[in-house]
Amino acid sequence: MTAMNFLEKDQKLSLDKLRNVLVRLEDTIIFALIERAQFKQNEIIYVQGAFPFDNEPDFNGSFLDYFLLETERIHGNLPAPVLPALDFASHLIPNKINVNHHVKSMYLLNILPSLCAPGDDSNHGSSATRDVECLQALSKRIHYGKFIAEAKFQADPEKYTPLIKARDTTALMALLTNELVEERLLRRLRRKAEIYGQEYADESDAEEPAPVPSTGTYGAATNGTAPSRKRRRSSTSDGTKRRIDLDMVVRLYKDFVIPLTKKVEIDYLLLRA
């Protein structure tokens, strides 16, 4: 992906092209969540200081924090920027805007508990690497708000400039919000989560007895004689299992991803002047 992809012939940022990136990132995010959902919550990996790291005796973060730290170190040491597109716009986009602490707390408090069944399945490393992938995808999506805001500004500087000067965040929010785009997104997202989250059923699986009805969201079967299958997030109309809860994915975007993207858009505009 090169930065030039976002530019029109007149060198202005193309809102349409940027929106296409956000559409593609929906897939990345849904697949990352599905990957994480195969493991249990493994709460211990989020507890500060629960794991000692011999090479970092002073480190007192969680197991996940350690993974994040190491990942960031690798990125920081790379000779080339990891996100060339972001780097390209750094003269326009102040790097000060960083909402990753919000992204992380939203993920830990609001997503994980409805994504994974409680418990510990010992897959600590696998869970933490999936967490890092989810966080990176969410963070990238949300920080694209900088480009989106720049594109909107370039398309209509006369409207944006006075509001920025007056620091009128309410009016800015109204101006940059596009409800139609949001509604379409949420419908598309539900559909994608439905399709991508379908468990592939082999022909031989079709002859297995019908799944035992589940008791709760995660469908821990109470019937002791039932084959111990993975938890089920409500079945599809043809009885196949779902790997991810549709309402959860939609709620994630509606309550967190979109509002945080818009926060980045506003923060960016306020800093732009």
Ligand X SMILES: C=C(O[C@@H]1C=C(C(=O)O)C=C[C@H]1O)C(=O)O
Is 178 assigned a catalytic role?
yes
**CB 148 → ligand X: shortest distance, Å?**
4
Contact track, ligand X, 249-268, x by CB under 6 A? ---------x--xx------
Helix axes 145-155, 15-37, angle to 10 degrees: 160
177 binds ligand X per the rule CB under 6 A: yes
Helix axes 258-272, 145-155, angle to 10 degrees: 60
User: Could you tell me which stretch among 30-38, 82-90, 180-188, 194-202 binds ligand X (CB under 6 A)?
Assistant: 180-188
User: Could you tell me which stretch among 42-50, 153-161, 181-189, 210-218 binds ligand X (CB under 6 A)?
Assistant: 181-189
Single out the catalytic residue among 152, 241, 243, 262.
152
Closest residue to ligand X, based on beta-carbon distance: 261
With respect to ligand X, which residue has the nearer C-beta, 17 or 231?
A: 17
Question: Cβ distance 150 to 89 under 8 Å?
Answer: yes
Which value, to the nearest 10 degrees, does the dihedral of the CA atoms of residues 160, 161, 165, 168 take? -10
Is 261 assigned a catalytic role?
yes
178 binds ligand X per the rule CB under 6 A: yes
Hey, which residues does 198 pair with through a beta bridge? 242
Measure CA 263 to chain center.
15
Single out the catalytic residue among 17, 19, 104, 190.
19
Q: Which residues contact 148 (CB under 8 A, 6 or more apart)?
A: 15, 18, 19, 22, 176, 261, 265
Work out which of 185, 248, 252, 264 binds ligand X, going by CB under 6 A. 185
Work out which of 19, 40, 104, 190 binds ligand X, going by CB under 6 A. 19
With respect to ligand X, which residue has the nearer C-beta, 116 or 176?
A: 176
With respect to ligand X, which residue has the nearer C-beta, 130 or 262?
A: 262
- Residue 30 burial class via C-beta count within 10 angstroms: exposed 0-12, middle 13-18, buried 19 and up: buried
Q: Using DSSP, state whether 6 is helix, strand or coil.
A: helix
